[in-house]
Amino acid sequence: MSSASLLQLLATQARLSDGELAERLDMTEEAVRAQREQWEKEGVILGYQAVVNEEYEHDSKVAAFIEVKMTVKMTPERDGGFDRLAMRISRFDEVSSCYLASGGFDLLVLVEGKSMREIARFVAEKLSTLEGVLSTSTHFHLKTYKKNGCVFEAPVQTERLAVAP
């Protein structure tokens, strides 16, 4: 067994008990519990979440992916630059995820709100006004096909059509 195996199993099947994890990895339950608790304390494991099919959520919300281009003067530097602006953006309640990215933009930000108007207001009043933000491009989320390794499949129709004699 390796620590990587335990971490991978926790990432994909966090509902398993320490006993079930130990059995699958040929470890003792105490060793699994100690390793998991150590990772939680060190910040390796930040939390546990369920992947929920949005079709069944009662609270309607709108999500958008926002590409953020930083000004030329924003450069990567130790404890500053990209990191400082990304952490500032990450602290907004509307932001659910924030990533440094390669390509034509610098950050990819996932934002959630009650309406498209609320997200547009966030971009106009909070995000685009930050020093260091040169431009933004907003893409609204329409449908999820796969999230965190879980494929969202529509129910398969098994009913046959009637055949006329």
pLDDT in tens, 14-26: 888 999 999 999 9
* pLDDT recorded at residue 120: 96
Residue 54 has pLDDT above 80, yes or no: no
Least confident of 1-15, 20-34, 36-50, 140-154: 1-15
Measured between alpha carbons, how far is 116 from 152 in angstroms, rounded to an integer? 23
* pLDDT recorded at residue 74: 55
Dihedral sign computed on CA atoms, order 89, 94, 100, 106: negative
* pLDDT recorded at residue 72: 62
Least confident of 47-51, 134-138, 157-161: 157-161
* pLDDT recorded at residue 95: 97
Reading phi first (left if > 0) and then psi (alpha if -120 to 50, else beta), residue 156 is in beta
Across the chain, mean pLDDT equals 86
pLDDT tens sequence across 79-136: 566 888 999 999 999 999 999 999 999 999 999 999 999 999 999 999 999 999 999 9
Measured between alpha carbons, how far is 153 from 52 in angstroms, rounded to an integer? 13
From residue 134, how far is each of 41, 71, 81, 142 by CA, in Å? 38, 5, 14, 26
Of 9, 39, 14, whose CA–CA distance to 25 is shortest? 9
* pLDDT recorded at residue 46: 84
Whole-prediction pTM value? 0.72
* pLDDT recorded at residue 147: 84
Of 67, 70, 66, 152, whose CA–CA distance to 116 is shortest? 66
